[in-house]
Every structure is written in structure tokens, then in C-alpha cells.
Structure 1
Amino acid sequence: MTSITQARPSLTNNDAAVLQALFDAESSPSSGITIDSSLPSWPATVNISQTDLATLKARETQIILKLQAGETPSQETVRTALEELNSLLEQYPTYPPAYTNRAQTLRLLADLEYNQHQPGPQTAESSTDESLFTPEAAELSSRIFADLGQAITLATPVSPADPISSAQARLLADAHTHRGYLLLKAARVKKSLSGLEGEAVGPERLRGHSADQLEEMASRDFFFGGRYGNKVAQQLAVQTNPYAKMCGAIVKEAMRKEMEG
């Protein structure tokens, strides 16, 4: 790991620490989280008994296994899984993992419904995500963002200083990273379009934001994803941080001038 040291008297210790945090993905994100393996999986606000949690986990596992059977599930299989997840959440609306699994299932449905209409070859990454931000998929993408937001709300501790369980940390890392990735994808799709096409990108809740604003929102989610333990999110938080990019541009320009001089 490369450290930023105090090369000149004008660079204070605080300045060095700030720059180090901006450019080093391993410098801070998860240091403020206390994970206590002795805690129950979910906070008391979830209000589900341990017996019911065991039953819910078993039901959820059965639903997901159906989606994973074979190479690509049919639309009928995905819709059946969604109905089962909807039923589960109607009974237990405070169960966080079902929201993240439903969000992923909705992404799969969007891929099956809209990717088949996309011209040209599709990669595993681009197929789902490009089609997800078409106007036709706005309702599905809106539901995905709603589910990820609800999972985060239910699993986030009341105070940042509160210890959390391992299950909470995993869910929060995954949900923030998932939402950050979708926001970043929306920003890039928006940048590639112009005029009315660009304004129609994604669900309605995102349409009032510019591409740069969406990327900043993604950076915040990546920060929290990294803070809760996702290593990829830690790297993406640095890459999308507007201050890090600004400082990087300044450093590159300074180095260019120094080399030319």
C-alpha cells in the first residue's frame, strides 16, 4: 500500500490523512463498523421470532434454488418465484433478505423480458443492465430500487456506533453495492444519450438527476458497501468519489507540467 507522506511543510497531517483516504481504498471504510457474531441475525425492530426466521430462511432458500436450477430459468419460473417472494413479504414485511432477493429476481425478469428485444450481441453484464434502463423497464427498475432501499432501511442500525450481526453486515454490503452499481450504470447510460432520451433513463425517481449526480449517489452507496465489508465496493467508492477524481486530475496535471518542465 502506497502512503502519502508530508512532502512539503504546507501539507499538514490532516491534509495527508484526507488525501490518503481519498486515494487508498483500504484506508477506512470498514473501520467504523463493529460486527458482533453473538447478536441475533436481525435487530429487534424486525420483530420476527427465531422460530419464524428459521422457517423464512428455509422458504427463501427453496425459492432461490428453483431459479438456480438449470442454466437460464424461464419467465414463468421467475414470475412464480416473484409471486412466492411477494407472498412471503405480505406475511413478514420486515424480513430484510427477501427484499434483496426479490430485487435480484426482478433484475432477472427484466433481462428475460427486455434483453431479447435488444439488437446485436449481448454480454452477461450489459444485457441485463442496458435493458433495465429503457423506458419500457421503468416500472421494474423502480421496484428494484424500492426493494433495495427497504432492505437497507430495515437492516441499518439506529446509530452508526451500534454493533451489528454478521448477517446484517453482509446484507448491507450487498444491498448498498447492488444499488450503487445500478446507479453507476444509470449514470453511464444517461451520459451516452442526450435530450429526451437521456431524461427518460431509469425509474422516475432518478430522472431529475444528472449523470454526475447519479454517479455521486453511486459513490455514496459504494462507500457504505465497502464500509460493511464489500471489497469491490471499496475500490469503486474511490474510483467514483468526485473529490478523489478532482484531486487525481490536479496531480496528473502537476506531474505533466513537471515532466514537460
Structure 2
Amino acid sequence: MTSVATPRPSLTSNDAAVLQALFDAESSPSSGVTVDSSLPPWPAAVNLSQEDLLLVKSREIEIIRELQPSMNPTSEDVESAINKLDDLLAQYPTYPPAYTNRAQALRMLVDLQSNDNTNTETSSDDALFTPQAAEVSTRILADLGQAITLATPASPADPISSGQARLLADAHTHRGYLLLKAARVKKTQALQEEAVGPDRLRGLGADQLEEMASRDFFLGGRYGNKVAQQLAVQTNPYAKMCGAIVKEAMRKEIEEFEGQTQPST
């Protein structure tokens, strides 16, 4: 006798929404951010006149133009650009993009110095998390943090300019990447706590660093970075845990269904 096939159970709308949030990176709430192109480029706290903004932007572009790949910048060129950004920020300490550009220039400097190093066993990214790079990596995280602080709206519900959204997406994603890299360096190389470069990361475990990275990726995705949206789901410990639970429940449900539909003898 052949048993009657049992219908496959259907998901409720709520269950479907949960699964969508767990497994689809595109479901992160970037739609919750209102971007208004008519707004001033930066919040009132930046406190720069239109004339000053034009001046500082012009100087900033002039500096970072020297760092374009087509210019084949050397370590000396990058150090010179960093010094110029130092001077620019000393005069305009509330201008957010200069902090993100200085953070990137510092990353470039570590990359170039790492490539010049005869020790090829350490990648340029790993070099950021050695004791020798502690000062530079601390500065990078501080610059990204300051840019985020200056550009973040007072309330998550407040509309933001397109420039704010772009900077916040990039800065959160950049910081998230560095935190995730620090977590993986700790895991794969079993480094002692004091060996991870940035001062603020010392004493933190790999899981803590990954959770911090996940939050930055979530925010980077929220402000529009598609890569950050995907990484937020991959690194979110709760999403990973729930995903494993759901997968196991689905596997058991399928096995049970197939057992019920097997012909009986």
C-alpha cells in the first residue's frame, strides 16, 4: 500500500520575513535612511561657511590627487600628503572627508612600507596589526571614528545629504573591514593581546572584534554600501546562529516529509 503524500508545510508571512532577513543581504534596512539632495552637504555641527567648504574641498582634492594610482606615489609622496592633511585638519578640524582621506593615506603608507619590506610572509593588511604599526593603526581608527562622529545625524530618523550617506557608508565599511581583519588575525595567528596594533583593540577577543565589525557593516549597509550589507549578514553572530538553527530545522523537516512519503511494504 502506498501512503498519501503529506503536503509540504508552508511558511507564515512572518516566518518568510525572518528567513528573508537572515539569508538575504539586500533586506538590510538601507531604505530606513532618507537622503535629501537639497540639504547642505554636512550637519550644522561642522560649522563651515559655504566659502570655507569650497576652499577646503579644493585643497583636499589637490592633496589627494597626488595619491592617484596613475601617479605611482612613493612612501615619501604619501607621507607628504598626510602632513598636508594634518595641516588642513588643524585649520578645519570639523571637516569629515579629510579624516577619511587621511585614514586611507595612512593605509597606503603601511601598504607601501610593507611592499618594501623583504619579509614577504606578512601581508600589508596583516602589517597593520603588528606592534610596530600600533601608532598608525590607532590613528586610522581614530580618524574613521571622528569622521563618523561628525557626519552622523543627531537622530537616525533625520534626513541626510548624499555626501553624508556616502561618507558614512564608506567610513563604517572601512572600519568594519579593519575590525574583521583584526579578529581574523587573532584567530589565525593566535597572537597575544598586546600584538594587535591599535590601542583601542588591545584586550578584546576575536569574537568581540567580529561583533564590532558586524555592527559597522550593518551601518555601512544601512547608508548604502552593498558589500557591507552582505558582510553584515555573514558576520552577525545572531544571524549565523539563527541561520544554523533554521537550516537544521529545515533538514529535519525534509527528512520527516520524505519518510512519510516513502512507500510502505
Fold shared, TM-score > 0.5 on shorter chain: yes
Say whether residues 1:149 and 2:145 are aligned partners.
yes
Closer/same/farther in 2, CA of residues 209 and 173 from structure 1, 3 Å limit: same
Q: Equivalent pairs: percent with the same residue?
A: 73
Query: Could you tell me which residue of structure 2 aligns to residue 3 of structure 1?
Result: none
Greater CA radius of gyration, 1 or 2?
Answer: 2
Alpha-carbon RMSD: 2.2
Closer/same/farther in 2, CA of residues 18 and 253 from structure 1, 3 Å limit: closer
Closer/same/farther in 2, CA of residues 84 and 248 from structure 1, 3 Å limit: same
Say whether residues 1:227 and 2:227 are aligned partners.
no
Aligned counterparts of 2:61 and 2:95: Cα–Cα separation in 1 = 14
Query: Could you tell me which residue of structure 2 aligns to residue 30 of structure 1?
Result: 30
Deviation, structure 1 residue 154: 0.1
- The structure, 1 or 2, with the larger RCO (C-alpha pairs under 8 Å, 6+ apart) is 2
Q: Where do 5+ consecutive residues of structure 1 fail to align? A: 1-5
Query: Could you tell me which residue of structure 2 aligns to residue 62 of structure 1?
Result: 62
Query: Could you tell me which residue of structure 2 aligns to residue 75 of structure 1?
Result: 75
Q: Where in structure 2 are the equivalents of 1:203-222 lying within 5 Å?
A: 203-222=198-217
Matched residue SS, 1:40: coil
Query: Could you tell me which residue of structure 1 aligns to residue 3 of structure 2?
Result: none
Residue pair 2:165, 2:224 contacting (<8 A) in 1 also:
yes
Query: Could you tell me which residue of structure 2 aligns to residue 167 of structure 1?
Result: 163
- Measured against aligned partners, the alpha-carbon deviations of 1:112-152 in whole angstroms (never above 9, x if no partner) come to 22343363378xxxx33111111110110000000000000
Query: Could you tell me which residue of structure 1 aligns to residue 4 of structure 2?
Result: none
Q: Where in structure 2 are the equivalents of 1:54-133 lying within 5 Å?
A: 54-68=54-68, 70=70, 72-117=72-117, 119-120=119-120, 127-133=123-129
Aligned counterparts of 1:59 and 1:242: Cα–Cα separation in 2 = 42
Query: Could you tell me which residue of structure 2 aligns to residue 140 of structure 1?
Result: 136
Residue pair 1:190, 1:211 contacting (<8 A) in 2 also:
yes
Deviation, structure 1 residue 195: 5.5
Deviation, structure 1 residue 182: 0.6
Match of 1:240 among 235, 241, 263: 235
Give the alignment's TM-score, normalised by structure 2: 0.87
